[in-house]
Structure 1
Amino acid sequence: MTTTSAAKLPTQTSTPEPKTKNQQIIDLLSSEEGATLDDMSKLANWQPHSTRSFMTGLKKKGHVIESVKIDGVRRYRILPSGDA
């Protein structure tokens, strides 16, 4: 007769997985005040053209991105689904 040992369950850590750069940018754009191109570029450590390209990809995925100029500074924000 063979005996089987109880399978070990994977241990769960108390710290969540770190957010990807993409998710951090989306979170920043989803905030009420939005973000500038410089804010996003610094957060992700991307060049401005890469950041603009990422926003283009978000638009292609169906996100509506609002662009407003306040005191000479352009800010971008993802609009909530009902605000489009």
Structure 2
Amino acid sequence: MQKSSRNRKPSKRNGRAKAGTAAKPARKKSRPVGRPTKRRPTLPLSSAQSGGVVSVTAEANKRANKQAKLLDLLRRPAGATIAALSKASGWQQHSVRGFLAGVVRKKLGLELVSSFEADQRIYRIIAAKQA
């Protein structure tokens, strides 16, 4: 014969409230007053400095211009090497390879051909891929 639930001791389970009682709200950990945070303080921008949109646009144009510069080098009949592309863009060689695979081949859908000439690998853009 089982005992009734009234005679049992309350359960000591964590995170679970007893039936009929409200759960206690979680306590916030407060930061001691007077202790500095690791964030830098922000300064209000003057009207001359508030060109946030312009700088974002300028950064996007700069990135697009680098891509356009690399695509122009790749479209030449002579093609371009990884070293020439990294020098033109200021990127490291692995970043140029990522650009060739991710942007040129996948995003833009251009046909990129590489050949080994004069002890160097030459990359060229032939034409757009046929879908």
Instruction: Return the TM-score normalized by structure 1.
Output: 0.71
Give the structure 2 partner of residue 68 of structure 1.
115
Q: Distance in 2 between matches of 1:81 and 1:60?
A: 11
Give the structure 1 partner of residue 82 of structure 2.
37
Give the structure 2 partner of residue 7 of structure 1.
none
Percent identity over the alignment is: 36
Q: Can you give the 5+ residue segments of structure 1 that lack an aligned partner in the other structure?
A: 1-16
By percentage of residues, which structure has more helix? 1
Give the structure 2 partner of residue 9 of structure 1.
none
1:53 to 98, 119, 129: 98
Pair 1:54–1:22, CA change in 2 (3 A) = same
1:21 to 66, 71, 76: 66
1:80 paired to 2:127: yes
Greater C-alpha Rg: 2
Q: Distance in 2 between matches of 1:66 and 1:27?
A: 15
Superposition deviation, residue 81 in structure 1: 3.6
User: What residue identity is the alignment partner of 1:79?
Assistant: I
Q: Distance in 1 between matches of 2:128 and 2:91?
A: 27
* Counterpart secondary structure, 1:79: strand
Q: Distance in 1 between matches of 2:126 and 2:117?
A: 17
Number of equivalenced pairs: 66
Q: Highest relative contact order (Cα 8 Å, sep 6+), 1 or 2?
A: 1
- Which aligned runs of 4 or more in structure 1 are off by greater than 6 angstroms? none
Instruction: Return the TM-score normalized by structure 2.
Output: 0.47
Q: Distance in 2 between matches of 1:81 and 1:49?
A: 24
